[in-house]
A and B are shown apart, each in its own frame.
Chain A
Amino acid sequence: MSISRRDFLKMAGSSAAAMTMLTNMGLSPTMAQDVVNIAFGGWGGVAEDEGVKEAIAVFMEENSGIAIDWQHTPDAGEYSRITLTNIAAGTAPDTSFIRADDYETLAVNGVLMDLTDLIENDPLLGQEDYFIQPQETNRSAVNGRWYGIGSTWVAHHIYYNADIFEAAGITPPGFQDDEIWAWDEFLEICNELTMDSAGRHPDDSGFDPDDIQQYAIDWPMGWWMPLTAAVFSNDGQIFDEDGLIVLDSDQAMEAMQRVADLIFVQHVAPRSASLQSLGMNNTQMIDTGRLAMGIDGSWALSWMNPTELSVNMGTGALPKMVRPATALQAHFHSVLSSTEHPEEAWEWVRFLATPFYQEHFSKIGLWTPNQTAMLTEEGLKGWITEGIHPDNYSQWATDYLPAHGVAVSLPPGWIEANNDYIQPAIDAIANGERAVDVFPDAVANANEVLIASKG
């Protein structure tokens, strides 16, 4: 038989259209009828992408009726934008990573499902000290209800080049209370560790601040988190009980000024590049011996560890001003209220809060546990990895964080207030201006934004 070309094209076109329609309606023969599809959105680099896929494989083996569809975006900021647009379009995923910046805004607007009862009634998660408290409740509770489960804790600490310390004959910092430096001690040590090309220290005459060969410390000022660690350490706060910003308090401004002075007064810190870290960052500086200590989030251990670096390295706590402190945050795992399968979605989110998932990322140095079960002797063995975690790292998780970690919870409107007023003020002091000159106005303007967002 022969059919004309026109007829053939008509047949091909209509059958393709029919197939598309059938597939979209879910009636095509390749799809089983009784598997529930849960979409799971999130971000992260290659390590996180692979970790999630592994977790999905394990979960789907144990739960054959649920299929997880992983929707990955490399960048957290972009993921936020994509999720918002999807929510507006009605195509939001069933479950998702939720950034700490967006958590309260989304919860208050009813986008996230209330998980409080499910968590409390869960035999594993509902145990009283399953999570490190009070930090976990501080960040998760919005008006007393939980809308997501925190994935982990991450916080800033010092990464140091052990070879430099050895050559200078100085004991590096640690995580035990007697190993944490007071601020004056810290400044003295930084002075010892900073040298220009002639070997002079900042307090020597003839020191050339434009020609520094080795810096002692890099304290990032590209965003709020490392700076607020200093604020907490000086007994300051970011927000007061009404949820308004109080970074213009004397303690807060003094803390931030001290950090900026490391660059401009003591000359022990470089003017680090912008937030996105496009360009040489502290990792290369430590690795090439240009920097003795770099402050970065605990997640950086996944690349700044003994295996990856060519120098001997170690970790220690931030120096203290009034008391030791560091700022804690992390993303949440939440179920979105628009989901059509709340039970299956909860099963998945619940799985992510069990030790298996957290162990995977803690092993590679990306995460620090927020679950107390992983901080026991037995629990530690499950994730402390030789070659990734320095010898004292278990103390970071078991002693330092629960005692000195301050959980941060960000109110609605924070993103706008930060972008428009707080970050520019931080930029200003990173550029040599005085905190007392820029922060009062910045905080006043920022608080106006927060108040307007409450409406």
Chain B
Amino acid sequence: MALQNKKKIEPEQNWIVQQYNRLSLKQRRTVMGYIFIMPFILGFLFWFLIPALVAGNLTLQKWNLISPPRYIGFDNFEKLLSDPILGQSLKVTLIFSSISVPIGLVFAFFLAMLINTKVPGIAVFRTIYFLPSIVPAVANAILWAWLFNTEFGLINFIIRALGGPKIGWLQDPGWVMVAFVILTIWGVGGSMIIFLAGLQGIPEIYYEAAEIDGAGRWAKLRYVTLPVMSPIIFFNLVIGFINSFQIFVSALLITNGGPQNSTLFLVLYIYRTAFQSQNMGYAAVLSWLLFFILMILSFIVFKYIGSRVYYENPGD
């Protein structure tokens, strides 16, 4: 057959392999290393770096998606400084973040400690506490919209049955933030599992040593558990801040930024500016603003809290 008569090229005759064979062992290892990380590098380039640079270019343009973009210099940045809606958006995002992250952390840690016991059937509880965090975002939104319904929601029903007032959870600008914090905390299953893993990694000998020194439960928590867990707490804190700043799906589906823009979180505002107000240039500026805010926030957290983290095995 024709395929059998085809001249077979030996690997050593392939020119790529010939070049490769010329390298020293160390160089070959470097090349292989780069090949293995290529998928990530390409992904980073195509789905982060290049779009970010294009967005950077877009900040200097006015583009409404249906006509060609045109350059307007720094007008979008000027708008940034005088936009009252942006002020409102930043305010509600910061408030939400600063309330939900600490409460979520404490709650997740507390839950992790609760389920870190060797009680029969504990796996059931672990599953129950973890499940809320994997509920799809849209189902989550529908669920909480029902629960928080002013007239007929289950939560108001229980409150009224206990003699309390009818709370406009999703209609009062004051209460809606509480509602969002509640629904965010309901989903702390993810951080809880990470805390659990950390708790289970604490060597027993530390606790035994502490007991010998006369430590009670609180002392053990303060002097053994918390310090050894501090890298994980720190990790969850940073991730928690970054995620809470980017809350979007719940805000879009449950309240659509209302009432009176009290849940107009920053990512929702960017989405609206880009696709509803059709102002892609200004939305690009807002996106870069979000990036810088998160960078600065992370820097602050790393500097002031990161330095207090106790690492068991400090790096080289």
Interface, chain A (partner B; CB < 8 A): 1-3, 7, 77, 80-81, 84-85, 87-88, 105-106, 109-111, 210, 270-276, 278-280, 285, 415-416, 419-420, 423-424, 427-428, 430-431
Contacts and interface: CB of A to CB of B under 8 A. Distances in A.
Residue from A106, A278, A280, A423 having most chain B Cβ neighbours under 10 A? A278
Contacts of A272: 151
B151 A431 contact: no
Nearest to B143: A278
Contact of B146 (A270, A280, A423): A280
Contacts of B171: 271, 273-274, 427, 430-431
Of A77, A88, A273, chain B has the most CB atoms within 10 Å of the CB of: A273
A81 B141 contact: no
Given A7-B3, A280-B152, A431-B173, 10 more contacts: A105-B278, A109-B67, A272-B151, A273-B149, A276-B145, A278-B142, A279-B148, A415-B277, A419-B276, A428-B260
9 shortest interchain CB distances as A-B pairs? A278-B145, A416-B277, A427-B259, A1-B1, A279-B149, A88-B65, A81-B275, A424-B260, A280-B152
Contact of B258 (A3, A87, A274, A279): A274
Contact of A271 (B1, B66, B151, B275): B151
A307 B66 CA distance: 44
B146 A276 contact: no
A416 B64 CA distance: 12
A310 B203 CA distance: 64
Nearest to B169: A273
Interface in B1-15: 1, 3-4, 6
Contacts of A210: 160, 165-166
Contacts of B168: 271, 431
B85 A420 contact: yes
A279 B278 CA distance: 30
Contacts of A279: 145-146, 148-149, 152-153
Contacts of A270: 150-151
Contacts of A419: 257, 272, 276-277
A278 B67 contact: no
A273 B168 CA distance: 9
Interface stretch (B39-47, B194-202, B248-256, B287-295): B248-256
B170 interface: yes
A278 B146 contact: yes
Contacts of B141: 278
23 contacts: A77-B276, A84-B65, A85-B65, A87-B65, A105-B278, A210-B165, A270-B150, A272-B151, A273-B171, A274-B145, A274-B255, A278-B142, A278-B253, A278-B254, A279-B146, A285-B151, A415-B276, A415-B277, A415-B278, A416-B276, A419-B276, A431-B171, A431-B172
B258 A427 contact: yes
Interface in B253-277: 253-261, 272, 275-277
Interface centre among B66, B160, B257, B259 (most CB of A within 10 A): B66
Contacts of B85: 420
B71 to A, nearest CB: 15
Question: DSSP majority for the B interface?
Answer: loop
A210 B3 CA distance: 86
A154 to B, nearest CB: 21
Nearest to A433: B260
A77 B252 CA distance: 11
Contacts of A428: 259-260
B259 A431 contact: yes
A106 B66 contact: yes
A286 to B, nearest CB: 13
Nearest to A423: B258
Contacts of B67: 109-110
A2 B4 CA distance: 8
In this complex, the member of A271, A276, A420 whose beta carbon has the largest number of chain B beta carbons within 10 angstroms is: A420
Contacts of B3: 1, 3, 7
Nearest to B176: A274
A275 B171 CA distance: 11
B278 A274 contact: no
Most buried by A among B153, B254, B258: B258
